Structure 1
Amino acid sequence: MAIGITVITTANCVRRFLQTDEAAIEQTIAGLKRSSQMFTGKPLIVGSAAQTEVFARASIACVEFEAARDLSAYVASPLNLELSELTPEQLAQPVAGEVEGEHFRVRIDFCFAGGHVLHTLAEGIRQPALAERLMNLTSFLERPVMNYRSAQGGVGLMNPAAITRFVITPGATDLPRDAWLAEVA
């Protein structure tokens, strides 16, 4: 088995790595189990005999992992939300978001420092209490990490501290009282 690792920085630099050594793969899987700490602490170091790269954790926008086996069981799961990166074909289609009963399906575009944009489909269970729905809306940027299924079928981890804004389409039906109501010009 092999694991492909993609690191996307806030400088919009994309670096790809491949692990084929079983011991290295197991170490990466152990790291995924502690994914809530991915963007804190020591720098991320990726090394080989040819070179070593060191990434400041605060400058990482996303890290994606691709493997033949499903790695989603190893990453921390967000509260009531499943995020999936949109493929180019899905991006070309009109947004088909909906809030139906207790379920919702919306598009969320996460914009990171440096210009990287992660286009996702968000699906989940709508919280019954208004206070919980508002907390979910405002707490995205306070989480230590958010995971998503990558367009290639692997898993990704995004650094909420590197997000500059996110856009929900269609618009959220419940907004905080201090939200500004205005149309995009």
Structure 2
Amino acid sequence: MAISITVITTANRARRFLQTEVARIEPILDSFRRSGQLFSGKPLIIGAERQTEVFAAASIACVEIETDHDLSEHFPSHPDLVLMAMTPAQRALPFTGGLEGEHFKARIDFFFAGGHVLYTSAEGVRRAALADRLMNLTGLLERQTIIYHLPQGGVGLMNPHAMTRFVISPGVPDLPRDAWVAEAS
């Protein structure tokens, strides 16, 4: 088993790390059980014999863990919203989404300080109560982390505190009362 770790900073820089020793992979994976604390202020330290890098939590946009190993046991699940990072080929195709019964499909593009953009497709169950649907809309920015799946296998974690905005396509039919209604030009 091997894992590749990519840390994407708010300076829009990506640093990649590789670990192939199973004995060293398990403690890394176990730390994701506390993934909600990853961006809470404590620095992320990744070290080895040649060098050690220390990342300020506020400067991390995303952390991606690529592997063919099933990581579901190491991360909390959010069945109401499943995000999948899109490949460049998927982004080039026209996206069709919307509501189908109690299920929804949408494209959500997340924008981070420094210019990093994460393009995702989102699927989930539409909540019955309007208040719950509105909370899902605004609650993403209030989470400690947002988990997404990688198309090549593995997961990523977004830092909502490093986000500047996100765009949902097609538009959300149930907007809060204080939302401004206007088309982008």
Match in the other structure for 1:33: 33
Unmatched segments (≥5 aa) in structure 2: none
Match in the other structure for 2:58: 58
Could you state the TM-score of these two structures normalised by the residue count of structure 1?
0.97
Could you state the TM-score of these two structures normalised by the residue count of structure 2?
0.97
Q: In the TM superposition, what are the counterparts of 1:1-185 in structure 2 within 5 Å? A: 1-78=1-78, 80-185=80-185
**Percent of pairs with identical residues:** 63
Query: Secondary structure of the equivalent of 2:11?
Result: coil
After the TM superposition, list the runs of 4 or more consecutive aligned residues in structure 1 that deviate by more than 2 angstroms: none
Does the CA contact (< 8 Å) of 2:2 and 2:18 recur in 1? yes
Q: CA deviation at 1:2?
A: 1.0
Q: CA deviation at 1:79?
A: 5.6
Unmatched segments (≥5 aa) in structure 1: none
* Partner deviation per Cα, 1:85-118 (whole Å, 9 max, x = no partner): 0111110111111111100000000000000000
* Partner deviation per Cα, 1:51-108 (whole Å, 9 max, x = no partner): 1100001110000001221113311223610000011111011111111110000000
The count of corresponding residues between Structure 1 and Structure 2 is 185
Q: CA RMSD in A?
A: 1.0
Q: CA deviation at 1:9?
A: 0.4
Separation of aligned partners in 2, 1:154 and 1:177:
38
